[in-house]
A and B are shown apart, each in its own frame.
Chain A
Amino acid sequence: MEALGLLMHGFAVLLTWKTLTLMMVGLVLGIFVGVLPGLGGPNGVAILLPLTFTMDPTSAIVMLSCIYWGALFGGAITSILFNIPGEAWSVATTFDGYPMAQQGRAAEALTAAFTSSFIGSLAAVLLITFLAPMISSFALKFGPPEFFSVYLLTFCSFVGLGREAKHKTVISMSLGLLLAGIGMDTVSGQLRMTFGSNNLLRGVNFLVAVIGLFGISEILLTMEERLALRGHAAGISLKVVLKVWRDLPKYWVTLLRSSFIGCWLGITPGGAIAASFMGYNLAKRFSKDPESFGKGRIEGVFAPETAAHASGTAALLPMLALGIPGSGTAAILLGGLMVWGLNPGPLLFVEHKDFVWGLIASMYLGNVVGLVLVLTTVPIFASILRVPFAAVAPMIVVSCAIGAYAIQNAMFDIWLMLGFGVVGYVFKKIGIPLAPFTLALVLGNRAEDAFRLSMIGAGGDMKVFWSNGLVGSITTLAIVLLFWPVIDSVFGSVSRLMRPAKAAR
Chain B
Amino acid sequence: MPNPKQGCPDLLELAAVTPHNGTQQAWLDTAGPNQDIGMKHVRNTIKATAALAAMLASAPAVAAWEPTKPVEIVVAAGAGGASDQMARMMQAAIQKNNLMKQPMVVSLKGGASGAEALMYMKSSDGDANKVLIAYSLIYMLPLSAKIPFNWRELTPVSVVAMDQFVLWDNAAGPKTVKDFIAAAKAAAAPFKMGGTGSKREDHVLTVFMEQKTGAKFSYLPYKSGGEAATQLVGNHTEANVNNPSENLEVWRAGQVRALCVFDKERISYKTKVTATQSWNDIPTCKEEGLDVQYLMLRAMFLPGKVTAEQVAFYVDLFQKVTQTTEYKEYMEKQALKPVFLTGKDMMKFLEEDDKLNASLMNQAGFVAK
Distance in angstroms between the alpha carbons of A29 and B221 in the assembled complex: 39
The answer to whether A186 and B19 touch across the interface, beta carbons within 8 angstroms, is no
Chain B CB count within 10 A is highest, among A55, A143, A203, A338, for A338
Distance in angstroms between the alpha carbons of A445 and B145 in the assembled complex: 18
Give B247-263 as 1s and 0s: 1 = Cβ < 8 Å from A's Cβ atoms.
Answer: 01110110100000000
Give A165-191 as 1s and 0s: 1 = Cβ < 8 Å from B's Cβ atoms.
Answer: 000000000000000000111111111
Distance in angstroms between the alpha carbons of A344 and B85 in the assembled complex: 13
Chain A, 181-231, CB within 8 A of any chain B CB: 183-191, 194, 198, 201-203, 205-207
The answer to whether B231 and A407 touch across the interface, beta carbons within 8 angstroms, is no
Give A434-472 as 1s and 0s: 1 = Cβ < 8 Å from B's Cβ atoms.
Answer: 000000011101100100010011010000000000000
Q: Which residue of B lies closest to A207 (CB)?
A: B14
Confirm or deny: A335 has a beta carbon within 8 angstroms of a beta carbon on chain B.
Answer: yes
Chain B, 138-197, CB within 8 A of any chain A CB: 144-147, 189, 192, 197
Stretch at the interface among A46-54, A92-100, A240-248: A46-54
Confirm or deny: B306 has a beta carbon within 8 angstroms of a beta carbon on chain A.
Answer: no
Stretch at the interface among B61-69, B112-120, B280-288, B312-320: B112-120
The answer to whether B115 and A201 touch across the interface, beta carbons within 8 angstroms, is yes
The answer to whether A346 and B20 touch across the interface, beta carbons within 8 angstroms, is no
Confirm or deny: B23 has a beta carbon within 8 angstroms of a beta carbon on chain A.
Answer: yes
Contacts A43-B19, A46-B15 hold; do A346 and B8 have CB atoms under 8 A apart? no
Distance in angstroms between the alpha carbons of A406 and B35 in the assembled complex: 26
Task: Please tell me the number of chain A residues within 8 Å of chain B, measured between CB atoms.
Answer: 78
Q: Which residue of A lies closest to B141 (CB)?
A: A189
Contacts A140-B230, A201-B119 hold; do A346 and B249 have CB atoms under 8 A apart? yes
Chain B positions within 8 Å of A48 at CB level: 27, 31
Confirm or deny: A88 has a beta carbon within 8 angstroms of a beta carbon on chain B.
Answer: yes
The answer to whether B6 and A325 touch across the interface, beta carbons within 8 angstroms, is yes
- When A and B form their complex, what is the total count of cross-chain residue pairs whose Cβ atoms lie within 8 Å? 235
Confirm or deny: B338 has a beta carbon within 8 angstroms of a beta carbon on chain A.
Answer: no
The answer to whether A18 and B36 touch across the interface, beta carbons within 8 angstroms, is yes
Chain A positions within 8 Å of B107 at CB level: 409
Confirm or deny: A103 has a beta carbon within 8 angstroms of a beta carbon on chain B.
Answer: no
The answer to whether A456 and B119 touch across the interface, beta carbons within 8 angstroms, is no
Confirm or deny: B308 has a beta carbon within 8 angstroms of a beta carbon on chain A.
Answer: no
Chain B, 320-336, CB within 8 A of any chain A CB: 329, 333
Distance in angstroms between the alpha carbons of A332 and B223 in the assembled complex: 17
Confirm or deny: B207 has a beta carbon within 8 angstroms of a beta carbon on chain A.
Answer: no
In this complex, the interface size class of chain B, counting residues with CB under 8 Å from chain A, is 35 or more
Confirm or deny: A40 has a beta carbon within 8 angstroms of a beta carbon on chain B.
Answer: yes
Distance in angstroms between the alpha carbons of A8 and B200 in the assembled complex: 48
Chain B positions within 8 Å of A335 at CB level: 79-80, 84-85, 88
Chain B positions within 8 Å of A47 at CB level: 18-19, 23-24, 27
The answer to whether B144 and A189 touch across the interface, beta carbons within 8 angstroms, is yes
Confirm or deny: A339 has a beta carbon within 8 angstroms of a beta carbon on chain B.
Answer: yes
Confirm or deny: A104 has a beta carbon within 8 angstroms of a beta carbon on chain B.
Answer: no
Chain A positions within 8 Å of B13 at CB level: 202-203, 205-207, 328, 407-408
The answer to whether B9 and A338 touch across the interface, beta carbons within 8 angstroms, is no
Chain A positions within 8 Å of B200 at CB level: 189
Confirm or deny: A322 has a beta carbon within 8 angstroms of a beta carbon on chain B.
Answer: yes
Give B69-111 as 1s and 0s: 1 = Cβ < 8 Å from A's Cβ atoms.
Answer: 0000000001110001100110110011000000101010101
Chain A positions within 8 Å of B28 at CB level: 51
Chain B positions within 8 Å of A198 at CB level: 119, 123
Confirm or deny: A419 has a beta carbon within 8 angstroms of a beta carbon on chain B.
Answer: no
Q: List 21 A-B contacts (CB under 8 A).
A: A21-B34, A25-B34, A53-B96, A142-B234, A143-B236, A191-B115, A205-B10, A205-B14, A206-B13, A323-B230, A326-B8, A328-B8, A329-B15, A335-B80, A335-B84, A345-B252, A346-B250, A407-B13, A409-B19, A456-B219, A457-B236
Q: Could you list which residues of chain A lie within 8 angstroms of chain B, going by C-beta atoms?
A: 18, 21-22, 25, 29, 40, 42-43, 46-48, 50-51, 53-55, 88, 139-144, 183-191, 194, 198, 201-203, 205-207, 269, 271, 322-329, 331-332, 334-336, 338-339, 341, 343-348, 406-409, 441-443, 445-446, 449, 453, 456-457, 459
